[in-house]
Amino acid sequence: MSQQAESRSYMLNMGPAHPAMHGVIRLMLKLSGERVLEADAEIGYLHRAFEKHAEADPWNNVIPWTDRLNYVSPLINNAGYVMAVEKLAKIQVPERAEYLRAATSEVSRITDHLTCVGANAMELGSFTAFLYLLQAREELYRCIDKLCGARVTTSYTRVGGVKGDMPADWPDMVRAAFAKVRSTVKDADGLLTKNRIFIDRTRGTGVLSKETALAYGITGPMLRSTGVPYDVRRAEPYGVYDRLEFEVPVGETGDNYDRYLVRLAEIEQSMRIVEQCFAKLPGGPIQAPDDAMPGSKMADLGKRGMTAEMLKTTVAVDPVMEGGQRSCHPGVMAPTPDSTLPPKEEAYGSIEGLMRHFEIIMWGRGITPPAGEAYQAVEGGNGELGFHVVSDGKDRAWRVRVRPPCFFNMAALHELLKGALLADVVATFGSINMIAGELDR
């Protein structure tokens, strides 16, 4: 008489010390052989108290903290936060600044998608595609560095506008980078899209149904991969997105392969948006004139108290401050002296300008929106990124709450992994594009 084989399951900790878990996520898997019976995620490894920091600092001083949410597309975080504050304070942003915000957000979205597709391909064994895509991302990082003075920690937006206008050659620099991106995406498409191994690892794995996605509040490429064409830029247009033409790519089955295809298609749509922003950008000076006073001369005159000459001319400032001069200021900053920073000539060339600058950024001073609350959502790299800010009429927020798209995507991870093989965990987790700084704020 044969004895029936005993069926046993066991628990496996996958991460946080695992290359595919990025060092900050722990998956607790219940396995039968290599089949996942149950899965649970522990996300509490990177809590940096963003919301509590945002309630402790003056409104404008929170902007650098937003860089650290989704640090792969920080320019979108910057814009989303300041738009919520502007809605609360009823500040109207200049049209030129709105176009610059849209253009920089889309450049940032491209870097996000390049990183996601490249890293996921690498974790599935395609190291060549990873190197190609990150090389293209590097071209865009150079553009961001040229504009913001930093590659990742951008802090580009300000309440009322942006840090400074773009350099004269920036559009040409971005277009040249886009040529590289398009070429690289074509190469990656050739390496991956019809690759038998890549298809076997992604098609039919990590399947997310439309009903499950909507029940969990999932947005972004994950939702669109199920066939739902929800995009905040279309559903609730903000900035100048209602004046721009672009398509919303969607999938059919909601699996890992569809999420890859959606992100690849969105890269082209983002480049299309940026090119439209450059074409529609309202006119205005975008650099200091040839007869601008050198910054070194301005400093010497200031030390001797000879500031009258400074106030009559444009100053050629340090490259990091470029675009913030008086000649550029009206196009990129709202005319609200009690809420927006002054031109650099005034801040560095007169005591009144210096006092105004300090009063806006110092604790106990700064912007004081009326008591109330506002919510602003933007389309982040992973979906709807929302900022809910509450004011009690003081120089800092009474309450700040972030709606991070990653959190909702990760909440459904156990549904995607149930019944999958252990090897599918890597493909599925990579396609979610979890960003720890946004997930565990």
Beta-bridge partners for 403: 386
Q: How confident is the model over 313-334, as a mean pLDDT?
A: 73
How far is 84 from 254, CA to CA, in rounded Å? 32
Q: Has residue 317 got a pLDDT over 80?
A: no
The residue type at 177 = A
**Strands 315-316, 293-294: parallel, antiparallel or unpaired by DSSP?**
parallel
Q: Are 407 and 23 in contact (CB under 8 A)?
A: no
Place of tokens 């009559």: 312
Write out pLDDT tens, residues 64-94.
999 999 999 999 999 999 999 999 999 999 9
Percent of the chain as helix, strand, coil, to the nearest 5: 50, 10, 35
Question: Nearest 5°: phi and psi at 351?
Answer: -65, -35
Task: Give yes or no for a contact between 100 and 163, defined as CB atoms under 8 angstroms apart.
Answer: no
Query: Residue 72 CA to chain centroid, in angstroms?
Result: 6
Residue 422: closest CA among 205, 117, 161: 205
First CA to last CA across the chain, in angstroms? 59
Q: Which helix (H) or strand (E) holds 135?
A: helix 127-148
Stated as kind and residue range, the H or E segment containing 388 is strand 383-391
pTM value is 0.91
Residue-level pLDDT at 89 = 93
375, pLDDT greater than 60 = yes
Q: Would you state the pLDDT for residue 331?
A: 84
Angle, CA of 315, 316 and 319, to the nearest 5° = 135
- Please tell me the predicted confidence (pLDDT) of residue 288: 46
Residue type, 397: A
Residue pair 129/194 in contact by the 8 Å Cβ criterion: no
36 phi and psi angles, rounded to 5 deg: -80, 120
Q: How far apart are CA 97 and CA 67, in angstroms?
A: 19
The torsion angles phi and psi of 333, rounded to 5 degrees, stand at -140, 135
Least confident interval from 174-188, 268-282, 427-441: 427-441
Local confidence band at 1 (pLDDT 50, 70, 90 cut-offs): very low
Token code pair at residue 110: 């491209």
DSSP secondary-structure letter at 152?
S
| Mean of per-residue pLDDT scores for the chain | 90
Asked if 76 and 381 count as a contact pair (C-beta separation under 8 A), the reply is yes
Closest CA to 397 of 159, 70, 97: 159
Token pair belonging to 178: 């886009």
**Matching CATH number, 60-284+367-439, of 1.10.10.10, 1.20.1440.230, 1.10.645.10, 3.40.50.1100:** 1.10.645.10
> In the prediction, which pLDDT does 321 show?
67
pLDDT score recorded for residue 194: 95
Task: Name the pLDDT band for 3 (thresholds 50, 70, 90).
Answer: low
Which of the four pLDDT bands, split at 50, 70 and 90, describes residue 361? confident
The alpha carbons of the chain give a radius of gyration, in whole angstroms, of 24
